[in-house]
């Protein structure tokens, strides 16, 4: 009998023939293995055995050549193969309160107005990291440049006129 397929509580619950086999084995047991001696005393005193004890007796019987002949083969566990489909990224609800976005490059001189409706915050479950995809009202694309998101136009920069016009037309709010 393969050693890797032992009887489980589920086997005992699902096969009603196993309990009488274990009880009969204990009534006829004459050895000195402590677990089986205590199980035999418990069966004689109470008249029944707990599920875990029945499982233990059945697994002990597997090692006894004469008793193993009456035991049915334990069934290998029935495993369900589950394919986990994890999304590549999840869009999170986010409110962006800082209206200005500018590049941190030293040559960048404009501060653009952030488009709060199109800017997205993403969570990547496979790496447990966050990323954002900023959009500005003037339509400029920032790509992967390092960006600064602020409440005000940074010192030494001026506000993008196309962003100002688009914010006025669309009545954008950052609250």
pLDDT in tens, 47-87: 889 999 999 999 999 888 888 788 877 767 677 777 778 78
Q: Work out the pLDDT band at 22, boundaries 50, 70, 90.
A: very high
DSSP string, 59-95: HHHTTSHHHHTTSPPPPPP-PPP------S-EEEP--
Residue indicated by tokens 């986990």: 84
Percent of the chain with pLDDT over 70: 93
Rounded to whole angstroms, the Cα distance separating 63 from 57 reads: 10
Please name which of 51, 7, 53, 3 lies closest in space to residue 26, comparing C-alpha atoms. 53
At residue 1, the pLDDT reads: 43
pTM greater than 0.75 (yes/no): no
Highest mean pLDDT among 62-76, 103-117, 140-154, 161-175: 103-117
At residue 4, the pLDDT reads: 61
For the residues 132-154, what does the mean pLDDT come to? 82
At residue 118, the pLDDT reads: 87
Supply angle C-alpha 34, 38, 43, rounded to 5.
Answer: 150
pLDDT at 152 over 90: no
Q: What is the pLDDT of residues 1-13, one digit of tens each?
A: 445 678 888 888 8
Average pLDDT over all residues of the chain: 85
């Amino acid at each position: 009998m393969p050693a890797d397929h032992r009887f489980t509580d589920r086997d005992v619950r699902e096969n009603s023939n196993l309990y009488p086999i274990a009880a009969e084995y204990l009534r006829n047991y004459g050895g000195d293995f402590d677990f089986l001696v205590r199980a035999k005393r418990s069966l004689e005193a109470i008249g029944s055995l707990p599920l875990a004890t029945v499982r233990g007796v059945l697994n002990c019987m597997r090692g006894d050549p004469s008793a193993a002949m009456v035991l049915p083969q334990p069934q290998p566990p029935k495993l369900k193969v589950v394919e986990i489909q994890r999304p590549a990224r999840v869009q999170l609800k986010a409110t962006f309160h800082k209206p200005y976005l500018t590049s941190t490059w030293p040559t960048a001189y404009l501060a653009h107005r952030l488009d709060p409706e199109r800017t997205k915050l993403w969570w990547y479950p496979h790496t447990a990291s966050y990323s954002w995809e900023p959009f500005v009202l003037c339509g400029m694309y920032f790509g992967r440049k390092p960006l600064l998101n602020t409440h005000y136009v940074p010192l030494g920069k001026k506000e993008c006129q196309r962003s100002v016009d688009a914010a006025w037309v669309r009545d954008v709010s950052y609250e």
